[in-house]
C-alpha cells in the first residue's frame, strides 16, 4: 500500500502521456472497488487514499442524480412521511408503531369483520322477533285471555241476589284464572 501515497503525491502526468502498467493496475483495482461500493458490497478495510477517492466518486455520482435508494430505506421514508401526515409519531419513536403496510393488510379484513358483525346482529334480531310474529299471524288472542267485562259470565242480577257478591266474585275469579293459566301455559303467553 506504500505505492498509494506515491500516486497522490507524485507529479501529475501529462494529459497525452501513456499510462504506465502500474497506473493501469491501480485504476482497475479502484474501478472494482467503486463497483463493489455501488452494489452495496463495500470492503470493510481499504487504504486512506482509496477511501478518499471513493468518497469523491460517490459524491460525483450522487451529484449527477439517478441514485436509487435501497428498498428498505425507501419504505421507511414513505412510511415516516405518511405517519406524520396522519399525526402519528415519526420514526424517531419506532417502538409501538404499527407499520402502515401491516395496517393496509388488515384494514379490509377489519372492515369485513365489522360489517359482518352488523349483518349478523341484524339477522339475529330478525330471528329473535320471529317467535313473536308467528302467533300473531296464526290467530288472535282468545277472548278468555283478555281482561273484559264480567256481564256475560254473571248475567242480570236478580233483586233477591243483589247482595250475593261473594258467590259472584268466586265465579269471576275462577273464570279469569282459567284464562290466565291458559295464556301462561301456551306459547302465546310468553309476552
Partner 1 sequence: MKYGWHAAAFAVLLTIANVVFYVGSRGGASTGQPSVTRVAEPDEVIGQELMMALAQAKNFHHKAKVYMTDGNLAEATTAVRQILSLRFPPNTPEADDVRNDARALLAKLLISQNQLEEAMRTVDEGIAQSPRESFFVANLYTVQGEIHEARALALDTGGEQAKAAEERRSAITSYDKSIKINEVLQKKLMGGK
Kindly list the residues in this chain that would bind partner 1 in the complex (CB under 8 A). 104-105, 107-109, 111-116, 118-119, 122-123, 125-126, 133, 135-141, 145-152, 154-157, 159, 162-163, 165-166, 168-170, 172-173, 176-177, 179-180, 183, 188, 191
Query: Using CA atoms, how far apart are residues 16 and 11, in angstroms rounded to an integer?
Result: 14
Q: How far is the CB of 55 from partner 1 (least distance, A)?
A: 42
Q: How far is the CB of 99 from partner 1 (least distance, A)?
A: 14
In 73-116, beta strands by DSSP E: none
If the CB atoms of residues 73 and 129 are measured against partner 1, the closer one turns out to be 129
Q: How far is the CB of 100 from partner 1 (least distance, A)?
A: 13
Query: Using CA atoms, how far apart are residues 93 and 120, in angstroms rounded to an integer?
Result: 40
- How many alpha carbons fall within 13 Å on the CB side of residue 118? 5
Q: How far is the CB of 148 from partner 1 (least distance, A)?
A: 6
Please say whether the beta carbons of 34 and 54 come within 8 A. yes
Query: Using CA atoms, how far apart are residues 112 and 114, in angstroms rounded to an integer?
Result: 6
If the CB atoms of residues 88 and 179 are measured against partner 1, the closer one turns out to be 179
Amino acid at each position: 500500500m506504500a505505492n498509494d501515497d506515491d500516486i497522490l503525491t507524485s507529479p501529475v502526468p501529462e494529459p497525452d502521456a501513456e499510462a504506465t502498467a502500474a497506473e493501469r493496475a491501480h485504476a482497475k483495482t479502484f474501478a472494482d472497488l467503486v463497483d463493489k461500493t455501488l452494489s452495496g458490497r463495500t470492503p470493510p478495510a481499504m487504504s486512506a487514499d482509496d477511501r478518499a477517492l471513493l468518497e469523491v466518486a460517490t459524491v460525483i455520482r450522487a451529484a449527477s442524480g439517478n441514485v436509487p435508494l435501497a428498498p428498505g430505506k425507501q419504505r421507511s421514508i414513505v412510511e415516516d412521511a405518511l405517519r406524520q401526515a396522519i399525526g402519528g409519531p415519526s420514526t424517531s419513536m419506532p417502538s409501538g408503531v404499527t407499520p402502515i403496510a401491516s395496517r393496509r393488510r388488515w384494514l379490509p379484513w377489519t372492515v369485513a369483520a365489522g360489517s359482518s358483525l352488523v349483518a349478523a346482529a341484524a339477522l339475529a334480531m330478525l330471528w329473535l322477533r320471529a317467535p313473536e310474529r308467528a302467533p300473531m299471524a296464526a290467530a288472535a288472542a282468545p277472548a278468555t285471555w283478555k281482561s273484559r267485562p264480567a256481564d256475560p259470565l254473571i248475567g242480570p242480577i236478580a233483586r233477591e241476589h243483589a247482595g250475593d257478591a261473594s258467590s259472584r266474585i268466586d265465579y269471576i275469579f275462577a273464570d279469569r284464572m282459567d284464562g290466565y293459566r291458559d295464556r301462561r301455559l301456551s306459547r302465546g303467553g310468553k309476552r
